[in-house]
Chains A and B, each alone.
Chain A
Amino acid sequence: MINSGHGRGPDSGSNSDPFPAGLRVLVVDDDPTCLMILERMLMTCLYRVTKCNRAELALSLLRKNKNGFDIVISDVHMPDMDGFKLLEHVGLEMDLPVIMMSADDSKSVVLKGVTHGAVDYLIKPVRIEALKNIWQHVVRKKRNEWNVSEHSGGSIEDTGGDRDRQQPREDADNNSSSVNEGNWRSSSSRKRKEEEVDDQGDDKEDTSSLKKPRVVWSVELHQQFVAAVNQLGVDKAVPKKILEMMNVPGLTRENVASHLQKYRIYLRRLGGVSQHQGNMNHSFMTGQDPSFGPLSSLNGFDLQALAVVGQLPAQSLAQLQAAGLGRSSLIKPGMSSSPLVDQRSIFNFENPKVRFGDGHGQTINNGNKQMSLLHGVPTGMEPKQFAGSHMRVQQQITGVRPGQNVQSSGMVLSVADHLPRGGPSMLSSLGQQQPMFSTSVSRRSDLTGAVRNSIPETNNRVVPATHSVFNNFPADLPQNNFPLASAPGISIPVSASYQEEVNSSDAKGGSSAATAGFGNPCYDMFNNFSQQQQQHHNNKLNDWDLRNIGLAFSHQDTASASAAFSTSEAYSSSSSLRKRRETDATVVTAHGQNQQPPSRSLNHLNHVFMDGGSVRVKSERVAETVTCPPATTLFNEQYHQEDLMSALLKQEGIPSVDNEFDFDGYSIDNIPV
């Protein structure tokens, strides 16, 4: 990684460690043998390890040191506390990525990990290879958080708080963004090296300004939240009202929305409420099934996700989508669909869907939102990663809500990421889906391009559109050859037409639906945002979507991931370097709709997750597996590395050669309207 310059923040001892070295890992396992081995392995990876043999102790360590750790690895079966409970606590209170591990590799347990929001699930015996890449979860999470925060308040300030996931929030009550901003600067949050974009304590003006401090849900804040929710009624609580009741300055609706998602998941788990989820969960495993019914309520996202998962047959997916599309708003702020989403979130397909929807009709909210969506998108793409935080996924799905999406997306990604890693992880179970993903991935990229242009308000709609987009992609490439990012203006007109196409293509086929699935999740996120902004976002979103998609996949071994990645790269490349930067850093801050596609963020992400070489490989694979138009593959090969490089360079502050990203003729934006 290029971040060699980045140190960890002041509070971390290893300021000079190039990321990911110095990553602060807390490993919890009651088995002393495993604990010792893990510690040794993590140290070999140059991480800073703290080991703990009891969950309660781990929690208190985490509570005392809110910013003291980057990631937690925990065993599932522990005598004093169930690993999943610990996972939930950590997710709710500290919002750190948690990796579960166990000698138990039964599907049900692994699924539990996913639904509870773990970003990955490792099967013992854990090999060092599985641990080498855990940093990706940290980065991913941060990126998602940025997205969320960006959307939530449009505070484009250079908060950069998000980067440091664990930014110390001195003031328990001061979780508001505004406060954080100030804190962020002064706090040692910069320490996190993950922030490639963030770097040396100063976010680049143009890109990083969008970074918003991450909201840390302190105990007090959470209590306020719970009180508000209880007053409103759990089922009726909507982020807006909760926000009003809480009356915390600086807290945004998005923050509340994503937290609400998590909370609902948590409650569900406690109460054993199945609702949709029950169905969903099972449906995931079983595949196509009746669960789709409830899914449709989710808005098609689920369908896609499910489809992607490999469970849904293409046709059913298409049908479902059609049904889902019917509803324009995928996810109401009220998170009504969360239960479903929850399950689905695993697959995150929804998010991409959302995006598409937004893209088509409307601009996906402001750039900020878009950005976050994008981030989220990729996560969605990685359905494979079931392990991924369950909650997050949910968020993504329900993601329609701004902010939330981002979060979920993030998780989704993480999920996906996991897949490729560590052999024993869930990948195997998801393996079947891979093929689907790859195609969808590639598709998505196309879609994003197309979607961008036409990002409509409704998510649902988008989804189908996306599918068609892909299909038509080669032919439809809009005049603009540039990736989504490039064309805010262009996209608009394109989107209009695109949308038409998309809608009509709905009927087409399940296969596209499947792919749409991938894209949907991402798009969903955007859709939510798009409501607020128009066109600009669309463009941006597209970029992001692509990126996200790419990112999400990149992690995965599947070719699809790489394909997505590359395509997104391609798309983003068209945007100017500046644009990229912005998107990257601020993710969406879209400051005003900068048309620049989130590509930057994607690029950034790309970096993070893939090294050029690997990306390259992936894209190639994608080319093989994906049926995307050759143009896409071209992108991959040409651009992803360059894109990564650009992203890396950008982060470093070195202007990169963006030109490469101009994919004339390939960008999705060119979809003729």
Chain B
Amino acid sequence: MDLVQMQKSLQDYTKSLFLEGILDSQFLQLQQLQDESNPDFVSQVVTLFFQDSDRILNDLSLSLGQQVVDFKKVDPHVHQLKGSSSSIGAQRVKNACVVFRNFCEQQNVEACHRCLQQVKQEYYLVKNRLETLFKLEQQIVASGGMIPAVELGF
């Protein structure tokens, strides 16, 4: 694939993430924070997000797996995941967290389990997509090209 094609692919791919609601405008904010002096900012933050989220999801699985679920422990985790996912623009993850929190408040263990599954699903989805995105970017950069700015119609 030549450079121009790669760039076009990247743009289309990014657009699709927005259109599907996997990412929201907050991700754009992150991209705007990236510049020559901070060329890898987005990937750095996202990587940090992945690491942190893996840990949180782990903790959540443990907490919910207890005989007696301590919602006082579960809720802060979900809250934090909600905060971090919203900060990077992982919209679907954030939304799933919102639902999760509601059930936490109701102390509905069954529903919380389902919510956790949902959150994980969304999380793996966005993780997968973003990793692909970064790969595309790397390919472009490796070919000597510039990463095109995201042009979103909306």
Contacts and interface: CB of A to CB of B under 8 A. Distances in A.
Co-complex (A, B): yes
Interface of A: 30-34, 36-37, 40-41, 44, 75, 77, 79, 102-104, 124-128
B38 A37 contact: no
Nearest to A126: B87
A33 B52 contact: yes
A43 to B, nearest CB: 9
A31 B80 contact: yes
Given A32-B52, A33-B84, A128 B29 contact: yes
A124 B80 CA distance: 11
Nearest to A127: B29
Contacts of A102: 83
B104 to A, nearest CB: 13
Given A31-B80, A31-B84, A34-B84, 17 more contacts: A31-B87, A33-B45, A33-B84, A37-B87, A40-B33, A41-B33, A79-B76, A103-B79, A103-B82, A103-B86, A104-B79, A124-B83, A124-B87, A125-B26, A125-B83, A125-B88, A127-B29
10 contacts: A36-B45, A36-B48, A37-B87, A41-B29, A41-B33, A44-B33, A75-B83, A104-B79, A125-B26, A127-B29
Nearest to B49: A33
A34 to B, nearest CB: 5
A30 B84 CA distance: 10
Contact of A125 (B32, B79, B86): B86
A127 to B, nearest CB: 6
B136 interface: no
Contacts of B32: 128
Contacts of B49: 33
> Counting chain B CB atoms within 10 Å of each CB, which of A31, A32, A104, A125 scores highest?
A125
Contacts of B45: 33, 36-37, 40
B130 to A, nearest CB: 13
Given A32-B48, A33-B45, A128-B33, A40 B82 contact: no
Given A36-B48, A125-B26, A127-B29, A30 B87 contact: no
B102 interface: no
Given A41-B33, A128-B33, A33 B48 contact: yes
Contacts of A104: 79
A7 B137 CA distance: 41
B41 A77 contact: no
Contacts of A30: 80
A383 to B, nearest CB: 28
B83 A36 contact: no
B90 to A, nearest CB: 10
Instruction: Please provide the 5 A-B residue pairs with the shortest distance between their CB atoms, ordered closest to farther.
Output: A103-B83, A33-B84, A125-B86, A33-B49, A125-B87
A102 B142 CA distance: 39
Contacts of A34: 83-84, 87
Q: Which of A40, A44, A77, A103 has the most CB of B within 10 A?
A: A103
Interface in B101-130: none
A47 to B, nearest CB: 14
B30 A77 contact: no
A173 B79 CA distance: 43
A103 B89 CA distance: 13
Interface in B1-47: 26, 29-30, 32-33, 38, 41, 44-45
A406 B82 CA distance: 39
A210 to B, nearest CB: 42
Contacts of A33: 45, 48-49, 52, 84, 87-88
B43 to A, nearest CB: 12
Which of A33, A40, A124 is the most central at the interface, judged by chain B CB atoms within 10 Å of its CB?
A: A33
Contacts of B76: 77, 79
Nearest to A30: B80
Contacts of B83: 31, 34, 75, 102-103, 124-125
A40 B52 contact: no
A125 B89 contact: yes
Contacts of A127: 26, 29
Nearest to B24: A125
A466 B79 CA distance: 47
Interface string B70-92: 00000010011011101111000
A539 B21 CA distance: 58
B14 to A, nearest CB: 18
A112 to B, nearest CB: 15
Interface hub of B48, B52, B83 (most chain A Cβ within 10 A): B83
Contacts of B84: 31, 33-34
B79 A40 contact: no
A365 B41 CA distance: 55
Nearest to B44: A36
A33 to B, nearest CB: 4
A514 B2 CA distance: 67
A436 to B, nearest CB: 31
A211 to B, nearest CB: 38
A37 B30 contact: yes
A40 B41 contact: yes
Contacts of A103: 79, 82-83, 86
A37 B79 contact: no
A342 to B, nearest CB: 28
A30 B76 CA distance: 11
Contacts of A44: 33
Given A77-B79, A125-B26, A37 B86 contact: no
A31 B76 CA distance: 11
B39 to A, nearest CB: 13
Contacts of B79: 77, 103-104
Nearest to B82: A103
